[in-house]
Amino acid sequence: MQTAEKVSVTMTSDMMRAIRESVAAGEFATTSEAMRDAVRVWQRQRLEYAERMEALRARVRHALDDPRPSVGAQDAEAQMRLFMEAAAAKSLRDAPR
């Protein structure tokens, strides 16, 4: 087990009340245990955020490296309008009578 380091943390009374209530309810044995759990959750969230950002950066790089020509805004809007019109027509055809 890693050696522990004692720190002092200033928290709002609402935060401390929530931690004490969790300890009183038996969710944690001590306030220190609750704080360590909060730090582990924070670490996991930061890691997940970093992974999502890297995946997003990879998608952007892939899109920028795509050799196909870009579609202009007007062309994209026209294509989307045709797509939506076709979807609406299909929906009307497939609707129960």
Do the Cβ atoms of 55 and 63 come closer than 8 Å? no
What is the per-residue pLDDT across 39-88, written as a single tens digit (0 to 9) for each? 999 999 999 999 999 999 999 999 999 988 888 899 999 999 999 999 99
94 pLDDT band, cuts 50/70/90, is confident
Distances (CA, A) of 58 to 65, 67, 68, 70: 10, 16, 17, 18
Instruction: Check residue 97 and give its pLDDT.
Output: 73
Q: Which of the two residues, 70 and 19, has the higher pLDDT score? A: 19
Instruction: Check residue 1 and give its pLDDT.
Output: 67
The alpha carbon of residue 88 and the mean position of all alpha carbons in its chain are separated, in whole angstroms, by: 32
Do the Cβ atoms of 28 and 34 come closer than 8 Å? yes
Instruction: Check residue 15 and give its pLDDT.
Output: 97
Domain extents for the chain? 9-68
